[in-house]
Every structure is written in structure tokens, then in C-alpha cells.
Amino acid sequence: MVNLIYTELLKLKRSQMFLISIIGAATAPFVCFIAYLKAKSQQPDIPILFTEVFSQTNLFIDLLIGVSLYGVITAYLFNREYIENTMKNILTIPVSRTKFFISKLIMLFIWIIGMTLAAWLLTVIFGLIGQFEGISLATSMLALKEYLIGGILLFLLSTPTILVTLLFKNYVSTIVFTLVLTMVNVLIVQSEYIALYPWSAVQVIATKSFIPEYPPEYSYISILATSIIGLVAALVYFQKEDIH
């Protein structure tokens, strides 16, 4: 297992995808930074608080950018061997398909957490450059906790994307799938159904902004059920798939 994870890291080292993903992770902090700078120039007497910047950036990551960005990374990790036609060679070395699958999951988790930390750090840096107010250790740590919870939950919700990637074995299907998920987020973000839809429930749980109509358990169950069903389906399909 360790060798498989090390191999994934070596593949990533030789790829430009990691740099591209970091640029993608920087999108939300940068966009919020520009938006708040514009607001500050128009209303210089109204202070821009770090708590607001952290919250808005995390909202963009959880509901808009994260789903699509992490979907592309998922497709890259689980589709690379198919595109390069090396899967059949790898599986001839006696490598357990389950261990191979789990090593990909571990790599995906490390990657998502890395981008989450990068987004949080860039938010802090941009905030300091913009001279936003109210930063403190407590504020920063609370924001980091919310960012990490969002990243972990989005990782759990990557399993349906893995299944789509394994089924269609191309980037287009995965991108379309994640765009649809994101569009649903946009449609229901102002409704009470945000607590029920798994990909929007991430933001509800991360910020503890639960909806009175639905107990918190509904949000947790929707995410866990989606994650487990996707994981089982993807793993079973990968185990039984014929590699030509």
C-alpha cells in the first residue's frame, strides 16, 4: 500500500496537474479579494472583516468551485491509467485491485486537503494585503476548521464522481456530472433544501448553519448515504471490470 501511494506521488510530481489544481484552489480567495477591494474603494468607511471574507470564500469553495475542481482531480487520478493504457500492465504485477483503489482514494484525500489548506492560507495572505480587519488566532483557527470540514465532506462525496469516471473513462462525462451538481447547488442555495442535498449540505455542516425545518441528522445522513453508495458501487464495478 505504501509503495502504491509513493508511486502516485511520483506520478503527481511529474505532472502539471498539481500546479493547475493549486491555481484552481486560489480562484475563490482571489475573486473574493478583488470583490472586497472594490467594495472597500467604493465605501472606504465600512471595514472589511476577516470573518466575512473567510465565510464568503469558504462558501464559494464548498458550493461552486470545489465540486468541479475536485471532480477534475478525481477524474485525473482514476482515469489516468485508462488514458495511458497502462492499467492492464499494472494489474499484471500482482497488485490487489482493492489496494490499488484505496491508494487512489488516499491520494485524492491528501490532494484535496492540500488544496483546502492552500485556499485558507491564500485567504489570510490576501486579507493581510488588503488590510482587512479583525484577524486573530481564534478567527483564523475557526475558519481553518470550517475549511477542513468542507474539504473532508467533499472528499466523501467524491465517490459518485469516481463511479462516473470508471463507467465512462473520460474527462468530459465527469466534468458534465460535476457541473450539474454545482448548478443544483446554485438553484437551491437560498432554499431549505440546501440541508438535504448532499453537495450543499457540506456548507451547512461546515458552518453549522442548519435549517430549522430539518434536523442536522438529515444533512449528515444525506452525505454519508451518498458517499457509501458511491463507494460500494465504484469498488464493485472496478473489481469486476474486464481490463483489456
d(CA 154, CA 69) in angstroms, rounded, equals 11
Q: 88 pLDDT exceeds 70?
A: no
Based on the number of CB atoms within 10 Å of its own CB, is 169 exposed (0-12), middle (13-18) or buried (19 or more)? middle
Render pLDDT for 162-193 as a digit per residue (tens, 0 to 9): 999 999 988 899 999 999 999 999 999 989 89
For residue range 94-122, list pLDDT tens digits in order.
678 888 899 899 999 999 999 999 999 99
> Cell numbers 466575512 correspond to what residue?
52
Please check whether residue 5 lies inside any domain of the structure.
Answer: no
- Asked whether residue 181 is assigned to any structural domain, the reply reads yes
What pLDDT does residue 244 have? 59
Residues in the chain, total: 244
- In 3D space, the residue among 226, 161, 185 whose CA is nearest the CA of residue 59 turns out to be 185
The answer to whether position 244 is within a domain reads no
Asked whether residue 6 is assigned to any structural domain, the reply reads no
Q: Residue 92 in 3-state DSSP?
A: coil
Structural domain harbouring 75: 15-40+47-238
Residue 35 is assigned to a structural domain of this protein: yes
Residue 125 lies in a domain: yes
- Looking at the domain assignment, is residue 121 inside a domain? yes
As given in the structure block, the three cell numbers for residue 159 are 465517490
- CA 223 – CA 201 distance, rounded (Å): 7
Q: Which amino acid is at 177?
A: F
- Give the pLDDT score at 8: 65
User: Side chain identity at 146, as an amino acid letter?
Assistant: E
Cβ atoms of residues 108 and 72 within 8 Å: no
Q: Which residue has the higher pLDDT, 12 or 148?
A: 148
**Which residues contact residue 131 at a Cβ distance below 8 angstroms, ignoring those fewer than 6 apart?**
none
Give me the half-sphere count of Cα atoms (radius 13 Å) on the Cβ side of residue 199.
27
Total tally of structural domains belonging to the chain: 1
Output the pLDDT for position 6: 63
Percentage of residues in the chain having pLDDT higher than 70: 89
C-alpha to C-alpha distance for 64 and 178, rounded to whole angstroms: 10
Task: Answer whether residue 21 is part of any domain.
Answer: yes
Of 146, 130, 150, the C-alpha closest to 54 is: 146
pLDDT in tens, 24-73: 999 999 999 999 988 888 888 888 999 999 999 999 999 999 999 999 99
Instruction: Give 133's strand partners.
Output: 49
